[in-house]
């Protein structure tokens, strides 16, 4: 099913790939392997993945940040983010599938199941104020953070070619990323001024497990700041 060009689908519940061996896709904009298209809307009470091969694909042209997907998602399916700027904000604590971002920006404002995962590839960005399972930022992938907001996850692996882009204001003690278990640091840290940035102590990561420090370099910083 493809919902595009500002179209709307109204239903009670959408069940995706319920049977073993079944395959079904729900596309917002274009299909995963097609050209991006304008997003449509699902006006439904929920989207439930079954034991088959079910996928929810975001491949749309909205780059304004205004597109929000507020449908509760449950089950072990796959969410593929190919293009566009999408905010997931539906209550989805029963989604224990895999998120794969290969393009665009995905903001997770929902609390997802601890058994979920997210992999962010080159050219894609992940941020938000929600909660995920295990997160991996691949080479060329971006993790977004903003002071005053916090993204929580079970574990976090930053690859050597990954980027962490943060917006910081005045120094503060609250972290931008809360990692319940293990944290692997690498890649580069890029800082932009949210207003009031200056000398002081900033807390970027909290973690509750083991720290593997593979070396994080300082990339871009506000004018006048010395790394």
Domain residue spans of the chain? 2-218
Supply the mean pLDDT for the chain.
96
Residue 224 pLDDT level (bands cut at 50, 70, 90): confident
Q: Over range 201-213, report the average pLDDT.
A: 98
Residue 223 pLDDT level (bands cut at 50, 70, 90): confident
Q: What is the C-alpha separation between 58 and 106, in angstroms, rounded?
A: 9
**Alpha-carbon distances, residue 96 vs 19, 72, 93, 147, 213 (angstroms):** 17, 12, 8, 28, 28
Q: What is the pLDDT of residue 2?
A: 97
Please list, in sequence order, all residues whose beta carbon lies within 8 angstroms of the beta carbon of residue 185, skipping any fewer than 6 positions away.
158, 205, 211, 212, 213, 214, 215, 216
- For residue range 45-87, what is the model confidence (pLDDT) as tens digits? 999 999 999 999 999 999 998 999 999 999 999 999 999 999 9
Is residue 208 predicted with pLDDT exceeding 80?
yes
Tell me the percentage of the chain whose pLDDT exceeds 90: 96
Residue 8 pLDDT level (bands cut at 50, 70, 90): very high
Contact 110, 116 (CB under 8 A): no
Is residue 227 predicted with pLDDT exceeding 70?
no
Q: What is the pLDDT of residue 226?
A: 67
Strand partners, 212: 184
- For residue range 12-54, what is the model confidence (pLDDT) as tens digits? 999 999 999 999 999 999 999 999 999 999 999 999 999 999 9
**Alpha-carbon distances, residue 56 vs 7, 87, 139, 145, 205 (angstroms):** 16, 14, 24, 25, 30
Q: Over range 156-169, report the average pLDDT.
A: 98
Q: What is the pTM of this model?
A: 0.96
Strand order in the sheet with 205-207: 151-153, 177-179, 205-207
Specify the length of the chain in residues. 227
């Amino acid at each position: 099913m493809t919902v595009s060009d500002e179209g709307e689908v109204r239903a009670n519940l959408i069940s995706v790939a319920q049977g073993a061996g079944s395959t079904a896709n729900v596309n917002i904009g274009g299909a995963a392997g097609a050209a991006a298209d304008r997003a449509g809307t699902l006006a439904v009470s929920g989207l439930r993945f079954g034991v088959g091969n079910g996928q929810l694909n975001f491949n749309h042209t909205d780059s304004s940040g205004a597109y929000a997907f507020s449908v509760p998602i449950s089950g072990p399916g796959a969410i593929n983010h190919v293009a566009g700027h999408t905010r997931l904000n539906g209550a989805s604590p029963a989604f224990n599938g895999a998120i794969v971002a290969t393009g665009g920006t995905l903001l997770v404002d929902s609390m997802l199941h601890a058994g979920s995962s997210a992999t962010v590839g080159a050219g894609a960005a992940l941020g938000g104020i929600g909660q995920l399972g295990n997160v991996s930022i691949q080479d060329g992938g971006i993790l977004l953070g903003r002071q005053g907001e916090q993204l929580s996850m079970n574990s976090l692996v930053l690859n050597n070619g990954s980027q962490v882009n943060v917006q910081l204001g005045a120094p503060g003690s609250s972290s931008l990323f809360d990692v319940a278990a293990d944290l692997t640091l690498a890649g580069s840290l890029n800082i932009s001024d949210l207003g009031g940035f200056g000398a002081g102590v900033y807390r970027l990561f909290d973690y509750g497990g083991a720290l593997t420090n593979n070396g994080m370099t300082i990339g871009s910083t506000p004018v006048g700041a010395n790394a």
